[in-house]
Structure 1
């Protein structure tokens, strides 16, 4: 791998994001993952593998996602900066796999795994109400992120 300025910048962003995620998301006394803004898991206490009744998608713990995906979530929470110009652009939900909302409700963010210039297949999709979804197969399937 060539260590050019873009590669180093991307690695620094991912590293800072991971540290930020570790500080932002803490394990509560009962062992669940919470954050200052969420106060813990949703009231119904879904578990990884359960199906979200709204989206009909399986839940996945944020901590079970690749560290790069956790870093992307941290960047979303802090409002960037994002490594790719297309990050934050409208996700159209043309596949119809997520709950239907008006155009512009969802935004997509790249999960960087390497610095080759290829965005790859992994994305985090965020809804306007704060819900987050993960895909590792370029929108063929999604999981609802539990945090």
Structure 2
């Protein structure tokens, strides 16, 4: 028979696992999104990143400074940013993919105010 404390701990672990499987939160607590659920333009940007370009915007591949501190803190140069075109926008818009040197991928649709970790 499980003790109440053990049962609560087991329930917490199960809920965490279910959340990770459903694509809710990463182990760091950041929201996640499966690659297939990203907008089509973001998936195309990921394909360009995987191929190494060519990129449609001059700033694509430039260092992302993480000045908003929404992503885990790393040394300058660790993150790179890429534009995700927004239909109807005449400039770069607010959507970006940010990649980390360790293979992480993040998506923002509000110009760095919030991020989702992309599950690939």
TM bucket (normalised to shorter chain) is: 0.7 to 0.9
Q: Secondary structure at the match of 2:99?
A: strand
2:96 matched to which residue of 1? 123
The total of aligned residue pairs comes to 103
Q: Select 2:42's aligned residue among 35, 46, 69.
A: 69
The TM-score, its normalising length taken from structure 1, stands at 0.65
CA RMSD of aligned residues (A): 1.9
Contact 1:47 1:59 in 2 (8 A): no
Q: CA deviation at 1:114?
A: 3.7
> 1:129 Cα shift?
1.2
| Distance in 2 separating the partners of 1:48 and 1:97 | 22
2:64 equivalent in structure 1: 91
Aligned residue in 1 for 2:12: none
TM-score, scaled relative to structure 2: 0.79
Q: C-alpha separation between the residues in 2 aligned to 1:114 and 1:50?
A: 27
What is the match of residue 110 of structure 1? 83
Residue 57 (structure 1) aligned with residue 30 (structure 2): yes
Q: CA deviation at 1:48?
A: 4.2
Q: What are the residue-to-residue correspondences of 1:8-47 with 2, within 5 Å?
A: 46-47=20-21
Name structure 1 gaps, 5 residues minimum: 1-43
Structure with the larger helix share: 2
Whether the aligned pair in 2 keeps the contact of 1:125 and 1:134 (CA below 8 Å) is: yes
Could you list the runs of 4 or more consecutive aligned residues of structure 1 that deviate by over 2 angstroms after TM superposition?
44-50, 113-117
**Structure number with bigger Rg:** 2
After superposition, what is the alpha-carbon deviation per residue over 1:2-50, rounded to whole angstroms, capped at 9, x for unaligned?
xxxxxxxxxxxxxxxxxxxxxxxxxxxxxxxxxxxxxxxxxx8933443
